[in-house]
Amino acid sequence: MAGILAWFWNERFWLPHNVTWADLQSTEEATFPQAEDLYLACPLAFCIFMIRLLFERFIAKPCALGLKVQANGPQKAQPNAILEKVFTAITKHPDEKRLEGLSKQLDWDVRSIQRWFRQRRNQEKPSTLTKFCESMWRFTFYLYIFTYGVRFLKKTPWLWNTRQCWNGYPNQPLTPDLHYYYLVELSFYWSLMFSQFVDVRRKDFVIMFTHHVVTVILITFSYITNLTRVGTLTLCLHDMADIVLEAAKMANYCKCQKLSDLLFLSFAIVFIVSRLGIYPLWILNTTLFELYEALGNFPAWWVLNMLLALLQVLHCFWSYLIIKAAYKAISKGKV
């Protein structure tokens, strides 16, 4: 086991030339990130999930009801043992041949059976109230952590000059504010990754899960190797658009259509500018070129930039969907 750990934590893979793990050991004068610090992320992720449940029940739900958000779910299909067996064990979308067979078996017309299957599929969808509560939780968290990130970063030199992310490396002590920021963000993404299986299931489930996995790996990797300065810039930039998106969703669930459309178009602008403009010109530029100039080439440099490039691919995919939806909004007058 010791040999495997020594192979995995090979300094020449993770760290730049002439930098060793000993350089990142905490002393009485300075504290540096340690891998053991991240053990706190698991219990903290559980705490965040429990806070979410309490928030949705005692804060978000009363707000939703006060805003007259629809509490009832979709209309339930009438009980039918034969159709239920087909739905759960065989298919949720029966073809024509199966519909005709069920029609003869039940003495129902085909349209009634199609209606039953449509109602049964809709029955599994969460209510608007549930979706509102989920969006309000995310809106509140993203607003809080983005505000915290901005207040923290505006006092740092690397916000205004990204070359400061690498100057003096590895002699960049870990401050309490930075440690808190990293730990809360990591814990939140851990909670998102697991709660995604019980949350409202969306069409981009696989893409979103991939995003969460890549984000958790990037946060962990950058913390352990003390590349936290560029990590804080990346985290803050990504939280910006999510605030507007969740606000647009809440407005939509409240049936404030004009406000929802305005917020969605604002989100589209913020997302595309931040993810397709600022992200490559600010984040990828410093990790690809400024990091290389300052610290040289090392294997983990490739890993870091491959993961950041994968995020950019996801940004492009989501931007395509956003532009498509925005086009519909402009052409049809409704998002």
Q: Check whether residue 219 and residue 255 sit in a common domain.
A: yes
Q: pLDDT tens digits for 109-122?
A: 989 999 898 888 88
Q: What is the DSSP string of 229-294?
A: HHHHHHHHHHHHHHHHHHHHHHHHHTT-HHHHHHHHHHHHHHHIIIIIIIIIIIIIHIIIIIHHHH
The DSSP secondary-structure symbol of 58 reads I
Question: In terms of domains, do 262 and 295 share one?
Answer: yes
Q: pTM for this structure?
A: 0.88
- 55 lies in some domain: yes
Map tokens 């806070």 to a residue.
51
Asked whether residue 206 falls in the same domain as residue 97, the answer is no
Q: Are both 39 and 150 inside the same structural domain?
A: yes
Residue 38 domain-assigned?
A: yes
What does DSSP assign to residue 126? P
Q: Provide the domain limits for residue 106.
A: 81-124
List, for residues 79-136, the tens digit of each pLDDT value. Answer: 888 898 988 888 888 989 899 999 988 989 989 999 898 888 887 778 899 999 999 9
Q: Are 183 and 44 in contact (CB under 8 A)?
A: yes
Residues 213 and 106 in one domain: no
Percent of the chain at pLDDT > 70 equals 98
Q: Where are the beta strands (DSSP E) in the chain?
A: none
Question: Do both 148 and 240 map to the same domain?
Answer: yes
Rg of the chain on CA atoms, in Å: 24
Residue 228 to residues 10, 75, 178, Cα–Cα distance (Å) = 20, 50, 8
Residue at 197 is within a domain: yes
Q: 62 in a domain, yes or no?
A: yes
Q: Could you tell me the CATH number of the domain that includes residue 99?
A: 1.10.10.60
Model confidence at 7, pLDDT cuts 50, 70, 90, reads confident
Ramachandran area for residue 208 (φ above 0: left; ψ -120 to 50: alpha; else beta)? alpha
Inter-residue contact 162 to 282 (CB < 8 Å): yes
The first and second tokens of residue 127, run together, are: 């209510």
Assess whether 238 and 95 both reside in one domain. no
Whether residue 184 is found in the same domain as residue 209: yes
Mean pLDDT of 191-201: 82
Report how many domains make up the chain: 2
Task: Look at residue 92 and tell me if it is in a domain.
Answer: yes
Question: Is residue 76, in this structure, part of any structural domain at all?
Answer: no
Is there a domain that residue 260 lies in?
yes
Domain assignment present for residue 6? The answer is no
